[in-house]
Amino acid sequence: MITNTLILLSVILLCCIGSAFCEDQRRTGYVVDTSENPFILTSEGKGFGDPMPVYWDGVWHLYSLSTDIRTVIHFTSTDLVKWVEHKPAMVGEGIATGTVVRHENKYHLFYTDSSSQTIHLVTSSNPWEFDFSKNRLLLEADGKTYQKGWFRDCYVFYNEQEKLWWMLIEGRSPEVCTGLFKSKDLLTWTQSEPMFKDKAREFGSCPQIFKQDNLWYLAIQDLGNCYYTANTPYGPWKDRGQYLSVIVEAASRFATDGKRQLTWGWLCDWAARPKVEILSYGGPLSIGREIVFKKDGTLGTRPLPELLIAIRKKKNDINLASARKLSGEWNIDLAKQTLKCSSAGVLVFDLPVQNPNYYFEAELDLGSPQTTVNIITRSSDNTDHGYGFALSPAEKKITIRDFNYAADHKILNDKPYSFPKSNKVRLQIFICDNYMEAFIDNQECLSARVVDHSSYKLAIETTDGPVKITKPFLHYFAGR
């Protein structure tokens, strides 16, 4: 009896060791701490293609295309700050955007074959490994309702109202459309009429829908991340415009834990103005965002609260005593950690560390609706170089400008913004390597490429009215 028990315990122990060994084998040993490097690259320094995030059992999974569309990259996180890289979930060729779904203890990776523009499926017993050689053809364009040659970017979810699996695809019918197919078992699919069409669109890539309160949301990728709302998943759909900068690509896929919607996009090296110039596919992942649902049904975004908490636990590397007045009347209160300017002025922080990569946050009280404030990152000694995040209540606009150009300060990204009546705002700015993302009031964000690393200081410029700045915080990123 004792011998049998010992044998059983040994078997269980060996199984546990074997399971742990397999899990360790699936990991590369590479962990990204986004509180130190906010824009994720792979361990080989490579970028990501279209993200396909999902959430299961307390773990956030970031599946993504590779830039050569030959592998499915796989990272996981339990805290949304540190991300563990795993070996590619699938290796093959021509692997374009899809979805990973769990059903009845099996994992289903739907993807687009990029060359044939057809939808394929690989099923696995675990979320770590999908055998490309076992893929099966599921769907292709019929040549009638859906034109051949443009049939891709499948998204699969379970529609609770209809008790059926739905698959959305980007197609042409003949205009840009979101195609619809339905299934009971994830294997056999019935074609439906497109659930969405828009002649004004050039693309309708990476479609996804979800319901929030009484509205359905449809997100797609055109030249920018666009979204629509409707009272039913069949429409009619109301165009709500863009919710992210054009340099944040493929952030129209969301993951949810049932409480909130999170999204990531890849940051491109495209030139957005005066017209979009496509240079390459793929890049580092953007700051993770939590979607904010406003009363009027529009979407906003805010940085992941978990990331902000982790950063705020770091040392505050800003020293108000290092502030140097270039112009204007400034009052600097070291005890209360506040800065005040009565009307117009420029203040430069002579940061002791020559690191152009950092996070900055503060609360600003703009003393009048006419007050304009520029937070200049990577500023030179006299602020003639750098990247400015401008807050302009009178124009109801927020803007990222490149101060490295002539006096007109080239606009990199701007957006309308309705400032609160109090004109009190809170902002967070991430600038690291070649990208900058700025968030305001947990409502809106701007993103831009910032390739000049020659300056590293921080400056504040105010015009046309008083400003009070409280709780300034700066944390250096490691960069690459």
- DSSP assignment of 342-353 equals SS-EEEEE--SS
The domain made up of 315-476 has a fold known as: Jelly Rolls (2.60.120)
With tokens 């060996």, the residue in question is 14
Give the chain's length. 480
Each of the 480 residues of the chain gets a pLDDT tens digit; together they read: 444 443 333 333 333 333 333 455 478 889 999 999 999 999 999 999 999 999 999 999 999 999 999 999 999 999 999 999 999 999 999 999 999 999 999 999 999 999 999 999 999 999 999 999 999 999 999 999 999 999 999 999 999 999 999 999 999 999 999 999 999 999 999 999 999 999 999 999 999 999 999 999 999 999 889 999 999 999 999 999 999 988 999 999 999 999 999 999 999 987 655 566 667 899 999 999 999 999 999 999 999 999 999 999 999 999 999 999 999 999 999 999 999 999 899 999 999 899 999 999 999 999 999 999 999 999 999 998 999 999 999 999 999 999 876 556 789 999 999 999 998 999 999 999 999 999 999 999 999 999 999 999 999 999 999 999 999 999 999 977
Tokens of residue 293, six digits: 């649902």
CB 373 within 8 A of CB 467: yes
CB 261 within 8 A of CB 215: no
Single-letter code of the amino acid located at 94: G
Task: Point out which residues pair with 429 in neighbouring strands.
Answer: 360, 438
Domain 28-307 bears CATH identifier 2.115.10.20: yes
pLDDT at 132: 98
Separation between Cα atoms, residue 273 and residue 449, nearest integer Å: 11
pLDDT at 352: 86
CB proximity list for 163: less than 8 A, separation 6 or greater? none
Kindly report the number of other CB atoms within 10 A of residue 275's CB atom.
Answer: 7
Separation between Cα atoms, residue 112 and residue 115, nearest integer Å: 9
pLDDT at 404: 78
pLDDT at 27: 80
pLDDT at 13: 36
Tokens of residue 8, six digits: 């059983």
Domain ranges of the chain: 28-307, 315-476
Separation between Cα atoms, residue 277 and residue 127, nearest integer Å: 37
Burial 340-369 (b: 16+ CB within 10 A, else e): bbeebbbbbbebeeeebbbbbbbebbbbee
Where does residue 392 rank: exposed (0-12), middle (13-18), buried (19+ CB within 10 A)?
A: buried
Taking the CA atoms of residue 401, residue 402, residue 408 and residue 414 in that order, the dihedral angle to the nearest 10 degrees is -20
